[in-house]
Amino acid sequence: MVHEIIIGRRSDDLKKYGSTATGYIGKNLIGKGEDTYLANKVMLDLLRPHVILIAGKRGSGKSYSGGIIMEEIASLPDEFRNNLTSVIIDTMGIYWSMKTPNEDQIVLLDQWKMKPKAFEDRTKVFVPFSQKKEFLDADIPVDFGISIPPYEFSPEEWSLAFQLPSTNPIALGLQKIVNQLHEKNERFSIDDLISKVKDDRTLDTHVKSALDNMLSVADKWGVFGEEGVKIDEVMKPGRVNVFDVSRLREAEAWSVRNLLVALISRKIYEQRVMARKQEELAKMGTIQLKERFPMVWLFMDEAHNFCPSDAMTVSSGPILTIVKQGREPGISFVPMTQMPNKIHQDIVSQADMVISHRLTSKHDLDALHGVMQTYLMEDIWKSIDSLPKSRGTAIILDDNSERIYSVQLRPRLSWHAGEAAIAANV
């Protein structure tokens, strides 16, 4: 009898729940190189919160693997699915295609005894308000526009967003203006910030001019608004929430993306901390829980740009709070990166699982060693080196079982829009 491999599941949960609330992500690879064959099913625990680092070279299947996990969460039985929601920070603009079945790989799916499946009703796509019409005119499905309320951020966060050192005169001037507006408890706009700068006679002329120019450019980003992201609308049970930030122009892209990620991460954490307390009160019989704010799986493409190893961004703090303290309130974090050595060390050290596709850089392989000190570095090198050259193969480091598995990830049920462009006719 062939038994399933369940990664990430605690032994007490295994006894109580068996393989319930797990996701089918692939099959165990036995053998080396091209002399391998598929064996046991590999299942992923979706019952508890996890930090799962997905790494690999460009085109090796990182985003594809992230999509598989999202599909499995969205496919759980309602009793579990309705207690979870997924959020993906989509920097490449590829996850909207989860609304469409994967007819492109119907033969491969049949070999795996699976069928194409669309997640149209369960996938909601968010884009900046200023771009929503462009997406719809191009027949790309979009459900909501994103806006970021300027008053949600502290003076220090504004400085980080513009990559200004804290002692920079422009940063000090910006912090002063933001502080003044916060002290009045005002829900201010970018226009309010600009007006405040122009009216302030104590600011140096050079600082005033720089701030005016900087904030005027920020106003043109098209993502600032007074309503902001309605987190209660986003965090609906059983949904896949795609935040598509792929079409921001490169000059401003990471400033806006980091602000958005900071806001989303902070609100997710705040909501889940409160929800966790209510869940405990309901368990005690003190209150009756009418509606549960779902546990969250936060996926993040190109995560090394949001929480790098060598600098602090405006999103670093909220992300690290989730990484270090998110398990208790029920938040899972799935960072995806080509360069695990460039991502903040705390993310690597806190990961209880790693899905690593092919890597060739010694620095990146060394970074994976920080996940489990009990593993010999040679084992990771050998495990990755012994993978077949075919796409979708990976090793999984599971801190729960203290084992390394070689895996062939299963094909996607929904369409994957992340393939490289090709000159052939569509």
Write the pLDDT tens digit of every residue in 152-162. 999 999 998 88
Residue 20 inside a domain? The answer is yes
Task: Tell me the pLDDT band of 388, cut-offs 50, 70 and 90.
Answer: confident
Q: Are residues 71 and 42 in the same domain?
A: yes
Task: Tell me the pLDDT band of 374, cut-offs 50, 70 and 90.
Answer: low
Q: Are residues 52 and 134 in the same domain?
A: yes
- Helix (H, G, I), strand (E, B), or coil: what is residue 184? coil
Per-residue pLDDT, averaged over 239-264, amounts to: 83
Do 265 and 319 contact (CB within 8 A), yes or no? Answer: yes
* Pairing status of strand 331-337 against strand 52-55: parallel
Q: Are residues 347 and 205 in the same domain?
A: no
- The answer to whether the Cα torsion of 182, 183, 187, 189 is positive or negative is negative
pLDDT digits (tens, 9 = 90+) for 280-326: 999 898 988 877 889 999 999 999 999 999 999 999 999 999 999 99
Q: What is the pTM of this model?
A: 0.92
Instruction: Please give the tally of structural domains in the chain.
Output: 2
Cα–Cα distance, 387 to 394 (Å, whole number) = 7
Q: Could you tell me the CATH number of the domain that includes residue 282?
A: 3.40.50.300
pLDDT at site 58:
84
Q: Are residues 185 and 301 in the same domain?
A: no
- Residue 408 carries which DSSP code? E
pLDDT digits (tens, 9 = 90+) for 71-93: 999 999 999 999 999 999 999 99
Q: Are residues 230 and 355 in the same domain?
A: yes
Residue 126 inside a domain? The answer is yes
Q: Which amino acid does the sequence have at 384? A: I
Candidates 3, 52, 53, 43; CA nearest to 20 is 43
Q: Could you tell me if residue 30 is left (phi over 0), alpha (psi between -120 and 50 degrees) or otherwise beta?
A: beta
Model confidence at 190: pLDDT above 80: yes
pLDDT at site 386:
83
Structural domain harbouring 118: 5-148+225-409
Q: Are residues 263 and 349 in the same domain?
A: yes
Q: Are residues 125 and 252 in the same domain?
A: yes
pLDDT digits (tens, 9 = 90+) for 121-137: 999 999 988 888 899 99
Tell me the residue ranges of DSSP E strands in 188-260: 240-244
